[in-house]
Structures are given as C-alpha cells and as structure tokens.
Amino acid sequence: MKSIFLCNKKNSVEKVYAESFDKLPDVEKKVYTSAEVIAEPEKFSEVEYVFSTWGMPSMSEEEIKKCFPSLKCVFYAAGSVQSFARPFLACGVKVFSAWAANAVPVVEYTLAQIILANKGFFAHSREMKKGNREAGKIMKAAYPGNYGENVGIIGVGMIGSQVAERLQSYKLNVLAFDPFLSDERAKSLGIKKASLEEIFSTCRVVTNHMANNEQTKGMLDFKCFSKMLPYSTFINTGRGAQVVEDDLVRVLEERPDVTAILDVTYPEPPAEGHAFYALPNCFLTPHIAGSLVNETHRMAEYIIEEYERYIYGEPCRYEVSLKMLETMA
C-alpha cells in the first residue's frame, strides 16, 4: 500500500473525511495508530503518502525512518502542525496542512464578535437580562457602533490577515501588531502598523491571533489590559497561554465596563472555581471558533486538492517548512 490514514483518534478521520473518502480511492480506508505502525514497521515500508487530521501522532525521527522509509508527504486535514511536523521535516518528508481551511470559521467567529462588541451587545444583553433598562439606555451612548472606530489585530498570520481583509468592507480603522508584518503587506491589507500599547489604548476592540510559541507566552499582561479604553472588548481565539490570566482577571474585576470574549484559556477549560466563570463581563466559549462538524469537511477538501496538486506536479499552496514553524500557530 502506498497511502494510509494515520491517526491516534480514529473517529476524527471518520468525521473530517466523511464526505471525501470516495475522492481518495487509492487510500486504504482503515485508520492506523502509531502503536500499530510501530508494532509492524515492515508492513508500511512502501507507504509514500500519509493522510491525517486531529490526533496525528508525534513520532521520533528514528521511528519515522524505521516505519516509513519511503514516505514522501504527510497531508494533515487540520490546522497547527507544531506537535508533530519537525521530525517528519527533518527526515525529508513534506508536510501539508489545511490551516487555511481551519482559519475560515475562526475569521467568521471573530468578525461576528467584533461587530457585536462595537454595538455593545454583550454589556447591553447582560443589563437587559437583569431588567436594568435604564442602564441600557445610558450605555447606548458609550458604544460607538461600527463606523469610524479603531479595531486592533494582534498577529497578522493566516487568520489575522483574513480578518483584516474582511474588515476592509466596513468603515473601521484597523491597527495591527506583528513584528513580522512588512510595510507592503500592511498597506495591501489596509491596516496601520502599531505597538501593543497603541492598540490597547486606542482600539475599541482588540482581537488576538498570535502564533503559539515560547516567544508569545504571557505577552498580553496587565500593562496591556490596563490601557484598554472605556467600554472596550478583548477577544481571544489565539491561545490562552499568550495571556497572563491573573492580570486579565484583575482588570475585569476593576473595570466592569471592559468585556472579555475568550474562546481559549490556559488550561482549557479553566480550572474549577476560576474567576472567569463568575465574572459577568467575561464570556467563555469552549474553543468553538475553529472548524465544527460540517466545517471540518472543508479541511478534507483543501488537503485533497493539495494532494492532487502534488501528484500532478502543480504548485502547492499549503506546504509547511521549518522556517514557517517559527512564526505560525
């Protein structure tokens, strides 16, 4: 066999590739785990292509060379490849990811939250639910709506850049922080490059899309959150580890006008009894911004198209390199 499914979460393959199995007639429909592969390495000596998704195992270079001496490519129908890619790349195996497909629902989620935040949806609904109609009237003047306001984007990778592109159709001023963002790229996206301090002190909504690595851990702290404008909103669909959560809690406790919308925390979910659960100005969702149910099928479509481009010698779009892993999510 030349192509297999490799995944330690077999149900993930069944879910993600559910609509696409017939598009991969040369791939054995059985899903193998890393334990099964390592137990019988000779069985996989001719495998050239591996397909996977969430649950792709991390293997050492020694295991890869022993089990997959003929392997050419890994096609990963999901987003981040940080947990497994490096040993494969070190062995000369190409790695392709459907991160662009997984970015689409995150972008849609973020846009929806930005629009609602600028309208004061979260604060208004909280007060109206308590029957506090007078407070709702007062807050109408506090939230400016979606015309001429500043929106801050932290991290202009695949997701951040798509958020910026879609915001171009709104009359909003977009500021962005990303050390790797060139002046030319910023101009093409219609955004102004800014420091973290400027973003938190001038933007009504700030949304985080930084890559998850050692350099970004704890980058968003009290120095940032304490500068937030009155009645402003912080959105996090990046990673919880990038936020010093005790500092965010402090600001949310001291500033009931500030709102946090957190789709990610560290750990996920927050520990039992964490302040995030009790704070009325903190809205939690359980990592739903990424691909859910039907949306996961888009990732399989992207990765199968990438496989076909590779097979027919066409330019590929979503190959991952070691250099890219330094800055991507």
Residue 26's CATH number:
3.40.50.720
On the CB side of 275, how many CA atoms lie within 13 Å of its CA?
12
Could you give the CA distance from residue 208 to residue 156 in angstroms, rounded to a whole number? Answer: 9
For 109, 282, 291, the CA distances from 103, given in Å and listed in that order, are 10, 24, 8
- Residue 289 belongs to a domain: no
On the CB side of 199, how many CA atoms lie within 13 Å of its CA?
26
pLDDT of residue 40: 97
Shared domain for 154 and 252, answered yes or no, is: yes
Burial 125-152 (b: 16+ CB within 10 A, else e): ebbeeeeeeeebeebeeebeebeebbbb
pLDDT tens string for the chain (329 positions)? 699 999 999 999 999 999 888 888 889 889 999 999 999 999 999 999 999 999 999 999 999 999 999 999 999 999 889 999 999 999 999 999 998 998 999 999 999 999 999 999 999 888 888 887 776 677 777 888 999 999 999 999 989 999 999 999 999 999 999 999 999 999 999 999 999 999 999 999 999 999 888 888 999 999 999 999 999 999 999 999 999 999 999 999 999 999 999 999 999 999 999 999 999 999 999 999 999 999 999 999 999 999 999 999 999 999 999 988 887 77
- Residue 216 belongs to a domain: yes
Shared domain for 75 and 28, answered yes or no, is: yes
Shared domain for 249 and 319, answered yes or no, is: no
On the CB side of 210, how many CA atoms lie within 13 Å of its CA?
24
Shared domain for 93 and 116, answered yes or no, is: no
- Backbone phi, then psi, for 173, in 5-degree steps? -95, 120
- Residue 126 belongs to a domain: yes
Could you give the CA distance from residue 136 to residue 122 in angstroms, rounded to a whole number? Answer: 11
Domain that holds residue 188: 102-284
Shared domain for 302 and 267, answered yes or no, is: no
Query: 229 and 202 in contact (C-beta within 8 Å)?
Result: yes
Residue 51, beta-bridge partner list: 5, 75
Residue 150, beta-bridge partner list: 173
Two structure tokens written together for 112: 């929806």
Shared domain for 65 and 144, answered yes or no, is: no
pLDDT of residue 228: 98
pLDDT of residue 273: 96
Shared domain for 228 and 174, answered yes or no, is: yes
> Which runs of consecutive H residues, i.e. helices, occur in 173-241?
183-189, 196-202, 222-225
- CA triplet 263, 261, 296: central angle to 5 degrees? 30
Using the 8-state DSSP alphabet, how is residue 171 labeled? T
- Residue 64 belongs to a domain: yes
- Residue 45 belongs to a domain: yes
pLDDT of residue 328: 74
Shared domain for 92 and 108, answered yes or no, is: no
Query: Can you say how many angstroms the Cα of residue 262 is from the centroid of all Cα atoms in its chain?
Result: 13
pLDDT of residue 104: 94
For 83, 276, 291, 315, the CA distances from 263, given in Å and listed in that order, are 21, 12, 13, 35
145: left (phi over 0), alpha (psi -120 to 50) or beta: left
Q: In sequence order, which residues have a C-beta less than 8 Å from that of residue 163 and are 6 or more positions away?
A: 107, 110, 111, 114, 153, 207, 209
SS3 at position 283: strand
Shared domain for 275 and 301, answered yes or no, is: no
- Residue 39 belongs to a domain: yes
Shared domain for 89 and 192, answered yes or no, is: no
On the CB side of 44, how many CA atoms lie within 13 Å of its CA?
29
- Quote the pTM value: 0.86
When divided into structural domains, the chain yields a total of: 2
Shared domain for 180 and 43, answered yes or no, is: no
Shared domain for 90 and 110, answered yes or no, is: no
- Residue 11 belongs to a domain: yes
Could you give the CA distance from residue 233 to residue 6 in angstroms, rounded to a whole number? Answer: 41
C-beta neighbour count of 184 within 10 angstroms: 8
User: 44, 28, 77, 85: which is closest to 61 by C-alpha?
Assistant: 85
